[in-house]
Amino acid sequence: MNTLFVASECAPFVKTGGLADVIGAVPKALASEGLGVKVMLPAYPALQDLAAGGSSVARFADLFGGPAELIETSAEGLTLLLLVAPHLYDREGSIYLTPAGADWPDNDLRFAALSYVGAQIALEGAAGWRPDIIHAHDWQAGLLPAYLQQSGTTAPPVVMTIHNIAFQGIFDASRLHALRLDPALFTQDGIEYFGKISFLKAGLALAQAITTVSPSYAAELLTPEFGMGLQGLLQARRAHLSGILNGIDTDVWNPETDPDLIAPYSARSLKKKAHNKAEIEARFGLTPSDGPLFCVVSRLTAQKGLDMLLDCLPDLVAQGGRLALLGTGDKALESAYIAASNHHSGAVGVIIGYDEPLSHLMQGGCDAILIPSRFEPCGLTQLYALRYGTIPVVARTGGLADTIIDANAAGLAADCATGFQFAPINATMLGQAITRAIETYQQPRVWAGLQRRAMRHPVGWAHSAQAYRAVYAGLSPPQPVQSTP
C-alpha cells in the first residue's frame, strides 16, 4: 500500500511537540511492514533548503492567494513532499504563531491549503505516484476528507489521528467560501460545530477510520471530561475509533549511543549515569547531594499539571530531592518556577526555553521524571525516560496509564513495576507519589531493579506499525458525494 501522511510538523525538521516525533518515526516503521510512505509538510523556512534540492511533482496556480509547488525530496530516511507556498509559510515566528505569540490570522487558509493539496494528490497523484491510503494528523489536516467528499469522485480512504483533541482548528462560518468548502458539508454531521467550522470535527466526521495515540485516551475521549465537546460524535463513531499506542525512535533515543550524553551507558553499566547527573547539576546550578534528582521536560501549561508541582516543591526539597526543569509556555508558570529556583537555591534549577540536546542529557542523567498531566493522549517523554532508566512519576491518565506500571507492593513483588502512578490527579496525590519515589530511591537495589525493568520495557514502533497496517487493510474507498453548484 502506498500511504500519504499529511501533517503540519515532522522531526527532526520542524517540531513544536510530540506530533513531530511521531510523524518522523512512524513512516520508517511502516516501511519495515512493506508500505511505501510519503510525508507531506508545509515548506516553512526551516525546510526551504531541502526543497531547493528536490524535484517538482505538482504545481498550483492559485492556492488560497498565491502560486504553490509540491517538491519531492528525501532526508533522514523519509520521503518528503514539501508544499512550497511562500505567501502562506515563508514568514518569521513559529509555524503556528506570530513573533508576538498570537495565532497567525490566516491559519485557516494556511492549513486548509495543506489539506487541499493532499486531496489533490489523493485524487490525481503526483508524478505517477498515487496513494492507496491517506493518513491525516490533527486539526491541521482535518479538512482533507471534506475536500475528498465534495470532489464527486471515488477517493482513497482517510485515517484521521487525534494527537490532542484540545486543539480543534475552529474558525468563523463566514470563511466557508474562502476555504473552498461545499456549503452542503456545513451540517451537524459534517464540518459544522456550534455554528462555526471545525477542522478537527470535519476529519472525525468524514474520515473512514479514526485513531488516537493510546487505548486509554480512546476510551477517555468518549466522556465529557476529556472529549472537549466532541464526545457525542466520537460515541456515534465508536466502531471506527481505535487507540494505538505511540512509540519512539529507538535509534535517536538510545543511551548507549546518544551523542548528547557525557557518558553513554546501558542497563549493565548504570553507574555511568552518574557522570551525566553531575553535568546536569552543573548546568542547572544544583548542589550535589545523596537525594534523587527529579526533572521536568515539558511545555509549561495547566494541562501538564505543573501548577500542582509548584505546591509540592517545598516537601520535595525538604525530603532531600532536587529538581531540574526545562520548558517554556505560560508566562505566569515561567515566572513562578524562576521564583521557586531563587527561593530553593541549589535545590531547584530552571532553564526557560527549548533545547533538544539538553533534554537528552536530562533523560540520561536524572533519577526520575515528573509528568503530572491532567490529561495526556499518549506522551512520549515517559517513553524516553523508560529507555534511559529515568523513573517516571506520572498521573494515571491516557497513555501515561498505558505505559507505566506502578511500583506499589504488588508491582514490586511481581517484578514488573517501572514507575509511579498517582490518582486522583491533584497536588496531594502527586506529593504522595513523589514521597514514594524518594523512599524507593533510598533502597538502592530496589531502585536499580526499577531502572533495569524500565530500560527493558518495549517502547519502539514495531507493534504499533502492525496495528496501523491492520487499520489500513480494513478500509475500502468511500462512496463519493456530489458537490452542490
pLDDT of residue 478: 53
pLDDT of residue 340: 98
Flag the least confident range among 32-36, 137-141, 275-279, 336-340.
Answer: 32-36
The pLDDT of residue 110 is above 70:
yes
pLDDT of residue 476: 66
Is 116 in the same domain as 28?
A: yes
The pLDDT of residue 485 is above 90:
no
Is 414 in contact with 477 (CB distance < 8 Å)? no
The pLDDT of residue 162 is above 80:
yes
Confidence of residue 171 (pLDDT cuts 50, 70, 90): very high
Percent of residues, the chain, with pLDDT higher than 70: 98
Confidence of residue 480 (pLDDT cuts 50, 70, 90): low
The answer to the question of residue 260 being in a domain is: no
DSSP string covering 417-465, please? Answer: --BEEE-S-SHHHHHHHHHHHHHHHTSHHHHHHHHHHHHHS--SSHHHH
Confidence of residue 436 (pLDDT cuts 50, 70, 90): very high
Instruction: Pull the grid cell for residue 39.
Output: 510525508
| pLDDT tens-digit series, residues 380-399 | 999 999 999 999 999 999 99
Confidence of residue 18 (pLDDT cuts 50, 70, 90): confident
Flag the least confident range among 297-301, 420-424, 475-479.
Answer: 475-479
Is 107 in the same domain as 192?
A: yes
Instruction: Pull the grid cell for residue 379.
Output: 506522551
SS3 210: strand
Is 303 in the same domain as 216?
A: no
In angstroms, the CA 37 to CA 76 distance is 14
In angstroms, the CA 377 to CA 401 distance is 10
DSSP 479: P
pLDDT of residue 316: 98
Is 198 in the same domain as 342?
A: no
- 97: closest CA among 355, 405, 329, 437? 329
The answer to the question of residue 385 being in a domain is: yes
Domain with residue 368: its CATH number is 3.40.50.2000
Q: Is 38 annotated as a binding residue?
A: no
- What average pLDDT does the structure give for the chain? 95
Is 381 in the same domain as 358?
A: yes
> Is the model more confident about 80 or about 483?
80
Percent of residues, the chain, with pLDDT higher than 90: 95
Is 393 in the same domain as 370?
A: yes
Determine the structural domain holding residue 293 and report its residue range: 270-458
The answer to the question of residue 263 being in a domain is: no
Confidence of residue 477 (pLDDT cuts 50, 70, 90): low
Is 295 in the same domain as 368?
A: yes
- 120: closest CA among 207, 198, 186, 58? 58
Region 316-339 average pLDDT: 97
Is 428 in the same domain as 311?
A: yes
Region 454-483 average pLDDT: 83
- 465: closest CA among 3, 4, 5, 26? 26
The answer to the question of residue 483 being in a domain is: no
Q: Is 271 exposed, middle or buried (0-12, 13-18, 19+ CB in 10 A)?
A: exposed
The pLDDT of residue 479 is above 60:
no
SS3 198: strand
Is 440 in the same domain as 332?
A: yes
pLDDT of residue 6: 98
Is 303 in the same domain as 229?
A: no
Count of structural domains within the chain: 2
- 252: closest CA among 369, 388, 347? 388
DSSP 212: E
Is 291 in the same domain as 155?
A: no
In angstroms, the CA 128 to CA 124 distance is 9
Q: Is 177 exposed, middle or buried (0-12, 13-18, 19+ CB in 10 A)?
A: exposed
SS3 371: strand
Region 402-425 average pLDDT: 97
DSSP string covering 24-85, please? Answer: HHHHHHHHTTT-EEEEEEE--GGGHHHHHTSEEEEEES-SSSS-EEEEEEEETTEEEEEEE-
Is 150 in the same domain as 26?
A: yes
The answer to the question of residue 181 being in a domain is: yes
The pLDDT of residue 484 is above 90:
no
Region 456-468 average pLDDT: 94
